Structure 1
Amino acid sequence: MDIEEQKRLEEQIQAYSKKIDFYTSEYTVEILAQKVANQEYTVPEYQREFTWDEPRKCKFIESLLIGLPIPFVFFWMNDDTGKLEIVDGSQRLRTLEEYLGSRLRLDGLERLALLNGTVFSDLPLARRRKVLNKSIRGIILSEDTDIEARVDLFERINTGSKVANPAEVRRGVLRGPFMDFLTEMAQNKLFNQLAPVSAKQKKEREQEELLSRFFAYSDSLECYKDDVSPFIFRYIKKMNSEFENNPQLRDDYETRFLNMLNFVESSFTLGFKKSVNAKTTPRTRFESIAIGSHKALQEDPNLNVPKEITDSMLESSAYKKEIRSDGANAIKKLRGRINFVCDALLGRN
């Protein structure tokens, strides 16, 4: 890394670091549970669904009782309400409140098997006091920490955990006309026919994720820097504002989407699917076909490509190499698979 690159790196680190300002505080379990019960904390929309199942709740309480370290809870100070918003830790706090209120009956414990079938009030008084006085450290982000930084923090902490995925998070925090548009287009019958998703993926809003990528990459690929989730977050936030200021954009974007779908239906035997009976749609395949087709139609709105040509293209070793999953979100790979399809449709390969 040369001196100029080191300078740019330092500027990048400092620019993002300025978004994060925080201090720490210690809370007793009793205080935390009381505040949850009194609704003194706010929970962002994308965290409101209580997703922990009973075994996970019980496992957490067992960890607390035997003295294992409990991860920090992250809050954000909302100056407008004076309340703390839970950026990360709502599942833990709500489980604590449920247990201390004796509404959670422990089951399946291995280390403390004698507590199976009991609730908090069944504990001896001395043990209850010890539990209530246990402390958990909180990290409080200042009011200057913007929503993008808070969501980014939530996603980084919970990578690999059973939490809301980026599409669900964006739906919760980026309400607006463009997000409403994505939700509506995700119900399009032809889109669902050409790009099927599993029941689990549908619940996790995979259709909206595919659509978000289609529009974001179509519009702003030159701004993409290998950072899918933050990139799409910023794009939807910007487009909510643009749709608000110019309602006509909605018709323009719907026309773009429908033109692409109609072309894919007429030119690709399987649509975005990998096989006839496929129940899911690979993201790399969808991106290459959807955005590649859109780019080709921009150059030739009357484009008509026989299905034999696209069938041959999709079966080629060159195409399969472009859509390999390793490093799939790197800008070079993304551009490669999109341009490959575009060039093939226009007869440039």
Structure 2
Amino acid sequence: MSDEDSPELPLHPSDDEMIEVVEEARREARYVVTDYPVELLVRKFREEPEQEGDIYIPEYQRTLRWSDQSQSYFIESVILRIPIPPIFLYDVKGRLEIVDGSQRVRTLVRFANDEFALGALDRLDVLTGLKYSQLPSTIQKRLFNTPIRSFVLDEGTDESTRIELFRRLNTTGKTLHDAEIRKGAFRGPFLDLILECAATPIFKELTPRIAKSADPESERQELVTRFLVYSDHYSQFKHDVRRFLDSHVIKSNRIISETKVQAKRAEFDKTMQFIHANYPSAFYRAGKGGALPRVRFEAVAVGTCLALRKKPNLTFNGNSDWLFGESQFGKLQDLHDPD
């Protein structure tokens, strides 16, 4: 391919365009700042969203992962009134959904309910081995009266903005995969379609190697999400992959019909069968091990899907060298592999 045939790279956005994007993103998150005493957090907390309680944990949050020792250090910090990170809540018709801070709130609730005794402490070793009910009443009151800085997102905050905030704030333990968050937060028929397609034997056979840092099941769900969204809406994408995918998953969950679900499932199966029959290793670059590059998967899978839409009886000439050679496709792939 000559230089004249090379595709033009997109122009860099203007200053005004960049400022508009930044300002729009800033306006999406509206919140108030307040201080809730520990006693209120403990009294109003419920573990599950469906339980009657004013403060609850959404499905996309993971279970408590802090060890008893880590929880003990946290309780010590609260008793000493050492500044701790704020918690972030989302107003849902007067109830408060925990966006970030579930580990801290759960720890306070567990300790107040005598579910663990304090381990070895740095400064308050005199309290080591004691449960909440065994503390002097003065210390109990001081603990319960301690204010916890809280940011409450307005109910009008966009759902994908709320999930994005959780991603950015979630720094303790293992960070959740994008697909794991969608699986917990964006329930509906479109998500069910994603999960079903990702679990098909033929797709697993086409995607044998997944990055060690990623959960294979979740990564395949991420790839299927990209396939289903980009195959219909790739021309609409401008920036922010996560927000783009999240918004379309949310919308599709609300409007997709059972007939459309069946059609999308059939198209996914047809595309994967065509790839399996003609270039089964195309998702991976020749001569290179390691994980499956997402952008390569998108190019091959979505490109094949669009070709089959145009020519349902498409046949392949058997020459797949262009998929693995130093073509323009390969050069562009080198630029995008980090994603």
TM-score above 0.5: yes
Once the two structures are superposed, residues 244-287 of structure 1 have per-residue CA deviations (whole angstroms, 9 ceiling, x without a partner) of 3xx32223212221122112112225353468997853323322
Once the two structures are superposed, residues 46-81 of structure 1 have per-residue CA deviations (whole angstroms, 9 ceiling, x without a partner) of 1153344445434433443454321221222222xx
Give the deviation of 1:190 after TM superposition: 0.4
The question of whether the paired residues in 2 share the 8 Å contact of 1:106 and 1:118 is answered with: yes
The AA in structure 2 aligned to 1:207 is R
**Correspondence 1:47 to 2:56:** no
Gaps of 5+ in 1: 330-349
Does the 8 Å CA contact 2:41/2:55 hold for their aligned counterparts? no
Aligned match of 1:169: 181
Superposition pairs of residues 72-83 of structure 1, within 5 angstroms: 72-79=86-93, 82-83=94-95
User: Percent of pairs identical after alignment?
Assistant: 32
Residue 209 (structure 1) shift: 0.7
Letter in 1 for 2:298: E
Q: Which residue of 2 aligns with 1:347?
A: none
Q: Once the 2 structures are TM-superposed, how far is the Cα of residue 14 of structure 1 from its aligned partner?
A: 4.6
**Counterpart for residue 222 of structure 1:** 235
Q: TM-score, normalised by structure 2?
A: 0.79
CA 1:111–1:229 in structure 2 vs 1: closer, same or farther (change >3 Å)? farther
Query: How big is the shift at 1:146?
Result: 2.8
Instruction: Report the residue type matching 2:42 in the other structure.
Output: A
CA distance in 2, matches of 1:184, 1:143: 32
1:255/1:268 CA distance change after superposition, 3 Å: same
- 249, 254, 257: which one pairs with 1:241? 254
Deviation for aligned residue 1:116: 5.2
- SS of the aligned residue for 2:324 comes to helix
Residues 1:323 and 2:337 aligned together: no
CA shift for structure 1 position 135? 1.3
- Letter of the 1:28 counterpart: P
Q: Normalised by the size of structure 1, how large is the TM-score? A: 0.77
Answer whether contact 1:268 1:311 (CA < 8 A) is retained.
no
Q: Which residue of 2 aligns with 1:34?
A: 43
1:285 matched to 2:299? The reply is no
Deviation at 1:235, TM superposition (A): 1.1
Aligned runs of 1:15-34 on 2, under 5 Å?
A: 15-34=24-43
Q: Which moved further from structure 2: 268-277 or 27-36? A: 268-277
* Structure 1 position 327, deviation (Å): 7.8
Within a 5 Å distance, the mapping from 1:196-211 to structure 2 comes to 196=208, 197=210, 201-202=214-215, 205-211=218-224
**Structure 2 counterpart of 1:343:** none
Query: Would you say the 8 A contact 1:195–1:280 is kept in 2?
Result: no
Q: Deviations 1:10-58 (Å, cap 9, x if unpaired)? A: 5444544443332221112222122226832132211153344445434
1:286–1:104: structure 2 CA closer, same or farther, 3 Å change rule?
farther
My pick for the range that moved more, 280-289 or 128-137, is 280-289
Task: Using the TM superposition, give the Cα deviation of residue 189 of structure 1 relative to its aligned residue in structure 2, in angstroms.
Answer: 0.7
Compared with structure 1, are the counterparts of its residues 30 and 275 closer, same or farther at alpha carbon in structure 2 (3 Å cutoff)? farther
Q: CA deviation at 1:162?
A: 2.7
AA aligned to 1:60 is F
**Cα distance, 1:211 vs. partner?**
0.3
Residue in structure 2 matched with residue 258 of structure 1 by the alignment = 269
What SS does the aligned partner of 2:182 have?
Answer: helix
State the distance in 2 between where 1:256 and 1:189 align: 16
Query: Cα gap change, 1:157/1:325 in structure 2, threshold over 3 Å: closer, same or farther?
Result: farther
Name the CA distance, whole Å, in 1 between partners of 2:271 and 2:295: 17
Paired with 2:225 and 2:298, the residues of 1 have a C-alpha distance of 11
State the shift of 1:97 in Å.
0.8
Aligned pair partner of 1:195 in 199, 207, 221 = 207
Q: For structure 2, list consecutive stretches of 5 or more residues without a partner in the other structure.
A: 1-12, 47-51
1:125 CA drift (Å): 4.0
Aligned to 1:144: 156
The structure that is helix-richer by fraction is: 1
What SS does the aligned partner of 1:47 have? coil
Alignment RMSD, CA only? 3.4
* 2:60 partner SS: helix
